[in-house]
Amino acid sequence: MSSFITHIASSKDYRTALKTWRPVVFYFGHPHCYACSWAEPLFCSVAETFKDRAVIYTLSTSESPRHPDVTGTPTVLFYKDGKLRRKLKGVGDQASLTQNFAEHIGRTKPRRPRRSPRRDLHWLHEQLRTLCLVSRARGLQRLRRGKPGAYRLAASS
């Protein structure tokens, strides 16, 4: 899945990954593990619904440095505010995994899509056209007083 981070190079990267205000989920699997072969697609399908609310890592134990809380595969670690909140050895079924995600991640607000600006270039042009500048204001004052030549100055602005 392209929305998941799949590589951590050092143990320092684990610490920097936890320095976020969002919940962090680590999934550890091994390419030659039979349980991981069916657990990873299940994990990815459940995690896809929560990808906007948390930072999700899918890591291979053969490529990533050793994590102290991982003693077997598959393992899922839920972190919030830099602290380990839940450790799952094995994934279980889809309902229990969804419940764990909702319990640890579901209360955070999803990322909001970027809003388009309400005003466009046409609006800006109209605002600048009707803006009362100093020279135009003087012409409007002369027009009100009834002085000759004021109409020409006001009309030219």
pLDDT-wise least confident of 14-18, 54-58, 62-66, 140-144: 140-144
What is the per-residue pLDDT across 43-53, written as a single tens digit (0 to 9) for each? Answer: 999 988 888 88
76-87 pLDDT per residue, tens? 999 988 899 999
Q: What is the pLDDT of residues 87-118, one digit of tens each?
A: 999 888 999 999 999 998 875 565 677 777 67
DSSP per-residue string spanning 108-157: SPPPPPPPPPSS-HHHHHHHHHT---HHHHHHHHHHHHT-TTHHHHHHH-
Average per-residue pLDDT for the chain: 80
pLDDT value of position 147: 60
CA distances for 53 relative to 7, 49, 109, 141, angstroms: 20, 9, 6, 59
Name the residue among 115, 113, 131, 132 with its Cα closest to residue 123.
131
